[in-house]
Amino acid sequence: MKNLKILLYALVSMSFLYACSGAGEQAESTDADHTEYATSEEALVESAEESMMAREQKSSSKDVEATPNIPSDGDSTSTANTEEYEEIKENPFVAAQQNPVTTFSIDVDNAAYSNVRRFIQNSQMPPPNAVRIEEMVNYFSYDYPNPTSKHPFSITTEVAECPWNTNHQLVHIGLQGKKLNYKDLNPCNLVFLIDASGSMGEPNKLPLLKKSLAMLLDQLGDKDRIAIVAYAGAAGLVLPSTPAKQKSKILNALNDLESGGSTAGGEGIELAYKIAKQNLIKGGNNRVILATDGDFNVGTSGDNELIKLIEEKRKDDIYLTICGFGMGNYKDGKMEKISNAGNGNYFYIDNIKESKKVFVTEMRANLFTIAKDVKIQIEFNPQKVKGYRLLGYENRRLNNEDFEDDSKDAGELGAGHSVTAIYEIIPVGSNSAQALSNTDEFNFQGAEKNKTSFGSNELMNVRLRYKPIGSEVSVLLEQKLTDNAQKFTASSADFRFSAAVTGFGLLLRNSQYKGKASYAQIKEIAKGALGKDSEGYRAEFVRLVEQAALLK
């Protein structure tokens, strides 16, 4: 640009001199002449610069248009697709004779299902790595019995034929959290940590976020307190801890937020936890609710840095809920990692109906924790089981020795929440051609000491460890499952529906383990297992399968 200006000055000067010499009667220049000359020279330079800038803008505009876009629901503005998902390496089939023990943390997150739904409803198939099967299964509630013992949850098991491979069987393990007396709940100390950066300006981000948190406010009582921290370039306290009954004051602070600036996520998290700790309610529900698209780009923003920060903060018994919003630049992998590290849960909110599910219908299950660090360990009977595979939970697997180590973090269970895990097993004597992995990835120290003595008709032993609220010492439960496999059609509605959701996930991932699963099969299974479905979530799933079948 500098060279262009020099060239233009030279051309103008030469033209002026040529004009003067051609006239033959050039008089001495007056001040007015100089002013007129300078003005015309500047105009010429400015005109050339504007022309170049216009060409650059036009070129830039073409580059943006060429970038693949993800349409947003109800928003005509398209955004370059920079969404990020962590790679999922599916669990293999493991030989039970060599490795009969498997351990994992429970996962109450369900963000993957609503995110997958968003893709399909926008006429796109989701990326395979966006499909976390356990989160899809756990999006739905199941009719497990309420616990009657001293423990805060019940354990339900069931085994039946696998619909996509009749040489295999599915083992269904369900946990049901105890429902609380909602009239006598401990008070809440909540800090809304709101991403108000420039990337949150779209209608399905900050505006939807405001409506969502307003819904939650309607569910809180007079003893509950709310604070608001926002971050955009720098984090700031928007509203100090305020009684929830001062609803208009809280809503005014919430509605005054506007998007703009970069995203200082780490700084916002630091401040939110500081405010939560300053207003800590002993024995209460102390929680940070982070609402964001996950696009942190200022300060502490790397995955490892954020995870270390969250791991440090969870020591104060302050829980974390993450609510993801938006599309196009959505950072799913980052938010899932933070949630896993922070004694928390993770949801993706794609529309106002999902806001109601998270903040109204299932608010108590999502916000009130009844058991910490819940781990499940399965030991299969090699006399009954040739091989097994855990469906989903790939990033929740634990070393087997971690089961008895109370310093190892695991998932939390909310009041009235259900958690489901499914294994696909190969019975001894099956005609299955499935290859088995003999790699002992997860050593079990002291395996002989804890080895189960199986009866002749026992399939497996379910061990479960959890920490009661207020304790750092885990409690052990054990329950054996008898080998009473049944035909798939004879199994419970919950068993069949969870199998349909699992099969759908296998199809969306184009899994090597999908067997003979098809969209038509999954649809028919789900239609026949709707159960009570008071909120219509299962019926919506059937429609989603129909849409996916048209897109494949």
More confident residue, 419 or 442: 419
Q: Which of 70-79, 216-225, 264-273, 535-544 has the lowest mean pLDDT?
A: 70-79
For 140, residues 6+ apart whose C-beta sits below 8 A from its C-beta are: 497, 498, 501, 537, 538, 541
More confident residue, 1 or 545: 545
Give 354-407 pLDDT, tens digit per residue: 999 999 999 988 999 999 999 999 999 999 999 999 999 999 999 999 999 999
Predicted local confidence at residue 357, as pLDDT: 96
Q: Are 300 and 306 in contact (CB under 8 A)?
A: yes
- Please tell me the distance from the alpha carbon of residue 171 to that of residue 262, in angstroms, as a whole number: 47
Q: How confident is the model at residue 309 (pLDDT cuts 50, 70, 90)?
A: confident
Predicted local confidence at residue 445, as pLDDT: 52
Q: How confident is the model at residue 167 (pLDDT cuts 50, 70, 90)?
A: very high
Residue entry with tokens 């619909």: 163
Question: What average pLDDT does this structure show over 79-96?
Answer: 89
Q: What is the pTM of this model?
A: 0.83
Predicted local confidence at residue 265, as pLDDT: 63
Question: What average pLDDT does this structure show over 290-311?
Answer: 74
Percent share of the chain, pLDDT over 70 = 81
Predicted local confidence at residue 3, as pLDDT: 47
For 545, residues 6+ apart whose C-beta sits below 8 A from its C-beta are: 500, 504, 519, 522, 523, 526
Q: Which of 81-90, 261-270, 343-352, 484-493 has the lowest mean pLDDT?
A: 261-270
Predicted local confidence at residue 88, as pLDDT: 96
Model confidence at 205: pLDDT above 80? yes
The one-letter amino acid code at 13 reads S
Residue entry with tokens 């005054």: 256
Q: Which of 323-327, 389-393, 491-495 has the lowest mean pLDDT?
A: 323-327
- Please tell me the distance from the alpha carbon of residue 491 to that of residue 284, in angstroms, as a whole number: 41
Predicted local confidence at residue 298, as pLDDT: 45
DSSP track, 389-411? EE-S-GGGB--GGGGG-TTS--E
Q: How confident is the model at residue 478 (pLDDT cuts 50, 70, 90)?
A: very high
Backbone angles phi, psi at 173, to 5 degrees: -120, 120
Model confidence at 17: pLDDT above 50? no
Q: Are 96 and 388 in contact (CB under 8 A)?
A: yes
Predicted local confidence at residue 524, as pLDDT: 98
Model confidence at 322: pLDDT above 80? yes
Residue 525 CB burial class (10 angstroms; 0-12, 13-18, ≥19): buried
Give 523-547 pLDDT, tens digit per residue: 999 999 999 999 999 999 999 999 9
Question: What average pLDDT does this structure show over 150-167?
Answer: 96
Question: What average pLDDT does this structure show over 118-132?
Answer: 97
- Please tell me the distance from the alpha carbon of residue 107 to that of residue 396, in angstroms, as a whole number: 7
Residue 350 CB burial class (10 angstroms; 0-12, 13-18, ≥19): buried
Model confidence at 452: pLDDT above 90? no
Alpha-helix runs per DSSP H in 348-489: 352-356, 363-367, 447-450
Q: Across 80-84, 281-285, 292-296, which has the greatest mean pLDDT?
A: 281-285
Structure tokens at 134: 């356990």
Beta strands in 271-318 (DSSP E): 285-292
The one-letter amino acid code at 367 reads L
